Amino acid sequence: MTDTVSMPSRKMAISQANVVIVGAGPAGIGVARVLRHLAIPDVRVLEREKIGASFQRWTIGTQFISPSFPSNGFGLTDLNAVSYDTSPAFSLRREHPSGGEYANYLQQAALAFGITVNTGIDVRGLEPDGEGIVVRTSHGEVRARFVIWAAGQFQYPSVSSLSGAEHGVHSSLVKRWAEYPGDDVLVIGGYESGIDAAIGLTAAGKSVTVLSRAAPWAVSGPDPSLTLSPFTKQRLDALTRRRSIALIGDADILGLERQGDLIRVLGANGRSWTTKPPPVLATGFAGSTKLIDRCFARDANDRPILTPQDESTELPGLFLVGPEVHHEGHIFCFIYKFRQRFAVVARAIAARMGVDTEPLAPYRANNMFLDDLSCCDATECLC
């Protein structure tokens, strides 16, 4: 069912819109659906590749860590759903979908929601323009009253903190671990991506050493944004029992340098490791807001500063949805978290357009309308 809702564009026919949504991942499709519920006219979704493109790029074998279950009927929306009335578990019949499977779910969801996506349009920048915003794209300009930035993180890897990063390979760029060169591989970074890489490399018969500044595999805590997920931990435990993976949890890596046909990984306190294959850099993601850096003020941790409606403080009319949304210690990096802010953004836009917000009532009833963050204290787990 791929792309029946996509319109590949040679030359974009539109030059004006009420709302432009940039990106057709879970954030873009999810928020587009809420705007449709509100019957906001003239909403355009611009996507540089196709619906679910980031998931199509995942390494073969990588799966969702958060489980899907068709529990919507009992008021517990599938953790990986972008709306309260869809469920990847139901449509895919998978508990931990692969990237390709999840992209199929997003394409089916967009079709069911009646959302048309303009594919093949790369957004290059935003400019303030009177009361609106000009969206500069590979296919011309669109003038919009509001822009919702939903371009995600995955296609914007972070390597800049390491000198000599060109001697490594970012984990997001590897298609198959079995084809990765060498038998002994160093992985830099020990959070979800690093451990997933280590598990994939081990499954391909390689011996792996993980170098990490901290030891998230040894940390237990209630916020899944800060610890390894149970799915990753249980797979890792099975491998460490078999001694297939060495985990070094106090290695603060500063850079990489080439020495002949070897690569030296330099750590703090004079420590170093030498390897022939390029180390895997599981160093996280800079995020797509870097593309429009001037449109956001940043906090001390370099995160975009947002109003309580997730609007930029620098460019009124620009809203952010997805994993880069952050408020006072609350990290919205999982789908089940950031989907709860779609209705907050939609309500703000509807209010300014004079559109009735009554259709948002079911969102609140289904835990999809989180405007009071005092309720989300992840430390409130008793066991």
Ligand X SMILES: Cc1cc2nc3c(=O)[nH]c(=O)nc-3n(C[C@H](O)[C@H](O)[C@H](O)COP(=O)(O)OP(=O)(O)OC[C@H]3O[C@@H](n4cnc5c(N)ncnc54)[C@H](O)[C@@H]3O)c2cc1C
User: Closest Cα partner for 141 from 42, 17, 312, 292?
Assistant: 17
In sequence order, which ranges of the chain are alpha helices (DSSP H)? 26-37, 53-56, 88-92, 99-113, 192-203, 230-241, 335-338, 342-353, 361-365
Q: At its nearest, how many Å lie between ligand X and the CB of residue 47?
A: 5
Q: At its nearest, how many Å lie between ligand X and the CB of residue 220?
A: 19
Measured CA distances, 201 to 38, 102, 174, 196 (Å): 46, 23, 11, 9
The reply to whether 24 sits near ligand X by the rule CB under 6 A is yes
Q: At its nearest, how many Å lie between ligand X and the CB of residue 260?
A: 33
Query: Interface mask (CB under 6 A) for ligand X, residues 249-278, using x and -?
Result: ------------------------------
* Largest Cα span, the chain: 67
The reply to whether 20 sits near ligand X by the rule CB under 6 A is no
Cα-trace Rg, the chain: 21
Q: At its nearest, how many Å lie between ligand X and the CB of residue 245?
A: 17
Contact (Cβ atoms closer than 8 angstroms) between residue 194 and residue 170:
no
Q: At its nearest, how many Å lie between ligand X and the CB of residue 186?
A: 19
Give the binding range for ligand X (CB under 6 A) out of 18-26, 37-45, 252-260, 341-349: 18-26
Residue whose CB is less far from ligand X, 194 or 317: 194
- Per CB under 6 A, the list member of 6, 54, 86, 107 interacting with ligand X is 54
The reply to whether 293 sits near ligand X by the rule CB under 6 A is no
3-state secondary structure of 223: coil
Query: Interface mask (CB under 6 A) for ligand X, residues 78-97, using x and -?
Result: --x-----------------
3-state secondary structure of 309: coil
Give the binding range for ligand X (CB under 6 A) out of 10-18, 49-57, 109-117, 255-263: 49-57
Structure tokens belonging to residue 232 = 């990753």
Q: At its nearest, how many Å lie between ligand X and the CB of residue 241?
A: 24
Amino acid identity of residue 121, one-letter, is I
Query: Interface mask (CB under 6 A) for ligand X, residues 184-213, using x and -?
Result: ---------x--x-----------------
3-state secondary structure of 365: helix
Q: At its nearest, how many Å lie between ligand X and the CB of residue 198?
A: 13
Contact (Cβ atoms closer than 8 angstroms) between residue 363 and residue 369:
yes
- Per CB under 6 A, the list member of 86, 279, 323, 360 interacting with ligand X is 323
- Per CB under 6 A, the list member of 19, 20, 31, 46 interacting with ligand X is 46
The reply to whether 66 sits near ligand X by the rule CB under 6 A is yes
The reply to whether 23 sits near ligand X by the rule CB under 6 A is yes
Give the binding range for ligand X (CB under 6 A) out of 10-18, 159-167, 248-256, 333-341: 333-341
CA–CA–CA angle 348, 354, 360 (5° rounding): 55
Structure tokens belonging to residue 144 = 């919009």
The reply to whether 152 sits near ligand X by the rule CB under 6 A is yes
Pairwise CA distance, residues 133 & 156, whole Å: 23
The reply to whether 288 sits near ligand X by the rule CB under 6 A is yes
Pairwise CA distance, residues 330 & 322, whole Å: 13
Q: At its nearest, how many Å lie between ligand X and the CB of residue 142?
A: 12
DSSP 83: S
- Per CB under 6 A, the list member of 335, 343, 345, 349 interacting with ligand X is 335
Pairwise CA distance, residues 11 & 142, whole Å: 12
CA–CA–CA angle 310, 64, 337 (5° rounding): 25
Positions in the binding site for ligand X (CB under 6 A)? 22-28, 46-49, 53-54, 58, 62, 64-66, 80, 122-123, 150-152, 154-155, 193, 196, 288, 291, 322-323, 333-336
